[in-house]
Amino acid sequence: MSTQLLWKFALIIGVIAVAVFYVIPPEERINLGLDLRGGAHIVMEVDTDSALQYELELNQSRIGQTLKERGISYESISPAEPTVMEIRGTDVSRSDEVREVLDQQVGRWAIRDLGSGDWRIVMPPEYRTYVENAAVTITLNTIRNRIDALGVREPLVQQQGMAGDRILVQLPGVEDPERAKDVLIEPALLEWKEVTYPPGVTDFGNWAPPVSREQAAAMFGGTLPADTELFPETFTAADGTLGTLWWPLKRVSVVVGNDLRNAQRTADEWGESQVSFELTSDAGRRFQAATQENVGRRMAIVLGGKAGKSVLSAPVIQDVIRDQGRIHGGFTVERAEDLALQLRSGAFPAQVNIIEERTVGPSLGLDSIKAGVIAALSGFIGVLVFMLIYYRLSGLNAVIALALNMLIVLGAMGYFGATLTLPGIAGLILTVGMAVDSNVLIFERIREELRLGKTVRSAIDQGFSRALMTILDCNITTLVAAFFLFSYGTGPVKGFAVTLTIGLLASMFTAVFVSRQIFELVLGSRSHRVESLSI
């Protein structure tokens, strides 16, 4: 063996060693896609309009609270447009004080005195953009926190989309996608609201709320007060049937969701699951004031969920509460754990909608792996048998090159941490179909040259050099297609484009370089004359 050939083989063996290093052990090196290992792929969209709405509500709540603390009366604070709120019926004589409160709470907003105690407050556009962007960022973080709490291994959370308002979540191996989804997208916006008692009620603790919207309206003499809204509470009657209570509650909340510092599942004295929470000090101050005012009355705990807001419970306030409390709701262990998790990880500042979801159960993934491997192996064996019969020992050369090609593809996938998907397995075996094209092109050319009466050595030289440009052209055109495939694809299809690309690049090395060196090795030194070639 010449020194030059020796170096070339050293290079080939080096490549093999590196590839093997990155393949072994395969179960650690090769990432399986969700379609093979099972898991959930969820794309969510943050509804930025609702973020604006929440922002308005939060400011309304603050303004209302401050006006009340200052003893300034008002009729209502309500949203007029997505970025506009209106305050009605403030005391005209104290309008300077109202402006002072507004300047202090929403100073950067456009504040307009409509006269006769009405105010119109408009959110500035740059603040709107800020709220929309913040909604996505906070949602992203909240989802990360919730996933961490779910205990999923190797999750993926990514911001996506042209407007950047989409969030991709991948949860490998999740057994119960419905629960994961519930936990992830539930807004979990917790609020405490004061009950608006109908006129004439004196026994606040034992007052029975209405069971229908109509009854509620009738209690207030036809129409609800402007600052009051009805919220449903579902309950199970003694006979097992479901019923709904309609609580008339103040629009402006005492405390809102993000005021929570901590929440966890605990058990009450009868061992039933409940959720205990702690408030931040600022919220605790507000809560203290509100509970002080409402001792002996009920206050409602409202949870904003996917299906809208509903009352979890409306306990009678026994004593002033500062910063700690508990929520009862007839929870199961799992529900209480989930609720605590959601409250702990923070509320969404916006509505989140699922726009795409794909979940593959682990058993289907296993079936796909089996089917994919059987299909790939039978295709590979088919190619192998044909090459050996048709090109005999040269065919063996090609088979070695193909096997090495597959090894390099797997090694490269291991190195890049690329993900193997079911279409990726198809891509792997298709690569074999395409890589073998280079061998066939070369071998057919060698045969042609042999038929023209050339010596074995010059036929091989000519075969390789003449076929090279054609092989390059073929592979580059396929790479162009693979590029568009990659830019188009999501998930599994991207995996396919990746295996195809790596496979084609590797085939230039294996089919052209390695295969050539094998011929050189078999034919021996240059001075030695070769009479025939097994091709």
Partner 1 sequence: MFQVLVNANFDFMGKRNILLVCSLLVVVASAVVLAVHGINLGIEFQGGTELQVRFVESQDLGTVRSVLGDAGLRNYQVTTIGDPADNDVYIRVGLSGSEEEERDQVIALVLNALTPGELGDLAAAGVIDLNRTSQRELLNKLAAAPGLTEGDATLLAAAVLEARRENAIFRSMDELAGLPGMTPEVFDYLEKQATVGPFALRSQSFIGPAIGHELMEKALWAVLGSLAGMLVYIWIRFQFQWGLAAVVALAHDTVITLGLFSLFGMEMSLPVVAAFLTLIGYSVNDTVVVFDRIRENTRTKGSTMAFTDLVNLSINRTLSRTIITSGLTWIVVLALFLFGGKSLASFAFVLVVGTVVGTYSSIYIASPILVVWRSLVAKRAASKHLGRASAGRAATKKKVS
What residues from 312 to 351 belong to the interface with partner 1 (CB under 8 A)? 333-334
Q: Is 429 in the site for partner 1 (CB under 8 A)?
A: yes
φ and ψ at residue 62, rounded to 5 degrees: -65, -45
Residues 38-77 that bind partner 1 (CB under 8 A): 38, 43, 45
Rounded to an integer, what distance in angstroms lies between the CA atom of residue 478 and that of residue 59?
A: 58
Structure tokens given for 87: 């305050």
**Rounded distance between C-alpha atoms, residue 513 and residue 468, angstroms:** 10
Q: Which residues between 20 and 39 bind partner 1 (CB under 8 A)? A: 35, 38
Decide: 261 and 279 in contact? Cβ < 8 Å: yes
Residues in region 135-194 near partner 1 by CB under 8 A: 175-179
Is residue 90 within the footprint of partner 1 (CB under 8 A)? Answer: no
**Interacting positions 472-491 with partner 1 (CB under 8 A):** 473-474, 476-485, 487-490
Amino acid letter at 248?
A: P
Number of Cβ within a 10 Å radius of residue 49:
14
Q: Does 508 bind partner 1 (CB under 8 A)?
A: no
Q: Label residue 146 exposed, middle or buried (CB < 10 Å: 0-12, 13-18, 19+).
A: buried
By C-beta, is 208 or 389 nearer to partner 1? Answer: 389
> Which span sits near partner 1 by CB under 8 A: 204-212, 248-256, 289-297, 444-452?
444-452
Write down the least CB distance from residue 117 to partner 1, Å: 38
Out of 143, 404, 500, 511, the only residue in the binding site for partner 1 (CB under 8 A) is 500
Query: To which residue do tokens 């097994």 refer?
Result: 534
Q: Is 433 in the site for partner 1 (CB under 8 A)?
A: yes
Contact with partner 1 (CB under 8 A) among 444, 454, 513, 530: 444
**Contacts with partner 1: how many residues (CB under 8 A)?**
82
Least CB distance from residue 98 to partner 1, whole Å? Answer: 38
Question: Which one of residues 110, 371, 452, 521 is an interface residue with partner 1 (CB under 8 A)?
Answer: 371
Among 355, 393, 452, 521, binds partner 1 (CB under 8 A): 355
Stretch that binds partner 1, among 16-24, 103-111, 266-274, 471-479 (CB under 8 A): 471-479
Please state the closest distance from residue 158 (CB atom) to partner 1, in A. Answer: 16
Specify the residue, 30 or 435, whose C-beta has the smaller distance to partner 1: 435
DSSP 252: S
Burial environment of residue 486 by CB neighbours within 10 A (0 to 12, 13 to 18, 19 or more): middle
Asked if 390 touches partner 1 (CB under 8 A), the answer is: yes
Beta strand 273-279 pairing with 299-305: unpaired
Q: Does 423 bind partner 1 (CB under 8 A)?
A: yes
Residue 522 binds partner 1 (CB under 8 A): no
338-342 — which CB contacts under 8 Å span 24+ positions?
Answer: 338/179, 338/182, 338/183, 338/186, 339/188, 339/263, 339/265, 339/275, 339/303, 340/263, 340/264, 340/265, 340/275, 341/146, 341/149, 341/150, 341/183, 342/146, 342/183, 342/186, 342/188
Query: In angstroms, what is the minimal distance from the CB of 116 to partner 1?
Result: 39
Tokens of 463: 């075969």
Among 279, 303, 434, 498, binds partner 1 (CB under 8 A): 434
* Residue of 31, 368, 507, 515 that binds partner 1 (CB under 8 A): 368
Interaction of residue 363 with partner 1, rule CB under 8 A: yes
Residue 344 one-letter amino acid? R
Question: In this structure, are strands 255-256 and 110-115 parallel, antiparallel, or unpaired?
Answer: unpaired
